Amino acid sequence: MSLQSTIETHVKAAVAEIYKAELPAVEFQATRKEFEGDITVVVFPMLRVVKGNPVQIGTKIGEYLVAQVEEITAFNVVKGFLNLVVADAFYMNAFAEIQATENFGKTPEAGKAVMVEYSSPNTNKPLHLGHVRNVLLGYAVSEIIKAAGSKVYKTQIINDRGIHICKSMLAWERYGNGETPESTGLKGDKLVGNYYVKFDQEYKKEVAALVAQGKSEEEAKKEAPLLLEAQEMLRKWEAGDAETVALWKKMNQWVYDGFEVTYKNIGVDFDSYYYESNTYLLGKDNIEEGLKKGVFEKDPDGSVWCDLTEDGLDRKIVLRADGTAVYMTQDIGTAIQRVKDHPDVGGMIYTVGNEQDYHFQVLFLILKKLGYDWAENLFHLSYGMVDLPSGKMKSREGTVVDADDLINEVAATAGEISEELGKLDGYTDEEKKALYKKIGLGALKYYILKVDPKKRILFDPKESVDFQGNTGPFIQYTYVRIQAILRKAKELNVPASVEEARDLHPKEKELIKLVQDYPATIQLAAAQKSPAIIANYTYDLVKEYNSFFQQVQILGTDNVADQSFRVALSKEVGQVIESAFGLLGIDVPERM
pLDDT of residue 399: 55
CA dist 481 and 488 (Å) reads: 11
Q: Flag residues of the chain having pLDDT under 50.
A: 392-398
What are all long-range contacts of 180-183, with beta carbons under 8 Å and residues at least 24 apart? Answer: 180/254, 181/254, 181/257, 181/258
Cβ distance 571 to 397 under 8 Å? no
- Which helix (DSSP H) or strand (DSSP E) does residue 65 occupy? helix 54-68
Q: Tell me: the pLDDT tens digits for 417-445?
A: 888 777 677 888 899 999 999 999 999 99
* Predicted local distance difference test score (pLDDT) of residue 65: 97
- Output the CA angle 553-556-562, nearest 5 degrees: 60
**Contact, 293 vs 324, CB < 8 A?**
no
On the 0-12 / 13-18 / 19+ scale of CB atoms within 10 A, 543 is middle
What separation, in Å, do the N-terminal and C-terminal C-alpha atoms of the chain show? Answer: 42
Contacts of 78 (CB under 8 A, 6+ apart): 35
CA dist 297 and 290 (Å) reads: 9
Tell me how crowded residue 53 is: count the other CB atoms within 10 A of its CB. Answer: 11
Within 8 A by CB and 6+ apart from 278, the residues are: none
Residues 6+ apart with CB under 8 A from 161: 237, 248, 276, 277, 280
What's the rounded Cα separation, in Å, for the pair 104 and 147? 10
DSSP, collapsed to helix, strand or coil, labels residue 263 as helix
> Cα–Cα distance between 239 and 166 in angstroms, integer?
14
Q: Are 521 and 533 in contact (CB under 8 A)?
A: yes
Rounded Cα distance, 286 and 283, in Å: 5
Per residue in 167-216, pLDDT (tens digit) is 999 999 999 999 999 999 999 999 999 999 999 999 999 999 999 999 99
CA distances from 389 to 318, 462, 463 (A): 40, 11, 11
Q: Residue 21 and residue 57: Cα distance in Å, rounded? A: 13
Give the pLDDT of residue 426.
80
State the pLDDT at residue 169: 97
Distance CA 114, CA 349 (A): 7
CA–CA distance, 545 with 547 (Å, rounded to integer): 5
Q: How far, in Å, CA of 153 to CA of 145, rounded?
A: 11
pLDDT at 419: 80
Q: What is the 3-state secondary structure (H, E, C) of 24-60?
A: CCCEEECCCCCCCCCEEEECHHHHHCCCCCHHHHHHH
- Read off the pLDDT of residues 487-533 as tens digits, 9 standing for 90 and up: 999 999 998 888 778 899 999 999 999 999 999 999 999 999 999 99
Paired with 74 in beta bridges are 85
What local confidence, expressed as pLDDT, does residue 390 receive?
A: 65
SS3 292: helix
Q: DSSP states of 310-343 as a string?
A: GGTS-EEEEE-TTS-B-HHHHHHHHHHHHHHH-T
What sign does the dihedral 451-457-461-466 (CA atoms) show?
Answer: negative
User: What pLDDT, on a 0 to 100 scale, did the predictor assign at position 420?
Assistant: 79
Q: Which residues of 103-127 are buried (b: 16+ CB within 10 A; e: fewer)?
A: ebbbeeeeeebbbbbbbbbbbbbbb
